[in-house]
Amino acid sequence: MEIRKEDLSLKHYTWQDDKTSSRLTVTPTRKFFDRNNGTHILWIVNWYATEHPGFRKQDIGALELLFAEKLPSDVLSEMSVCNWLANAR
């Protein structure tokens, strides 16, 4: 399942394409993660969907709220977001 821009619930995102969405791998890197960049959110949600086979499109909004409301400000890389997310759910 591929999550797309239209599947996101929140609408405050900026859409600065930095090649994140066109990556061939879904392995997290130490690359900077911006919780307000829709491209970054799409990448992380797609990563999560790949890692959690029971994930459904209805769960996207809950992930978005986690990022918007609970993600600590010192979580700055894709790897740190993925590690945080593994413990936050």
**pTM of the predicted model as reported, rounded to 2 decimal places:** 0.86
Q: Can you tell me the distance from the alpha carbon of 55 to that of 4, in angstroms, rounded to the nearest whole number?
A: 15
Q: Can you tell me the distance from the alpha carbon of 75 to that of 73, in angstroms, rounded to the nearest whole number?
A: 5
Question: Where do the H-state alpha helices sit in 1-89?
Answer: 38-51, 60-65, 78-88
Q: Residues 50-73: pLDDT tens digits?
A: 999 899 999 999 999 999 999 999
Q: Residues 26-41: pLDDT tens digits?
A: 789 999 999 999 999 9
Question: Are 82 and 75 within 8 A, CB to CB?
Answer: no
Q: Can you tell me the distance from the alpha carbon of 68 to that of 80, in angstroms, rounded to the nearest whole number?
A: 15
Residue ranges covered by each domain of the chain: 5-14+34-88
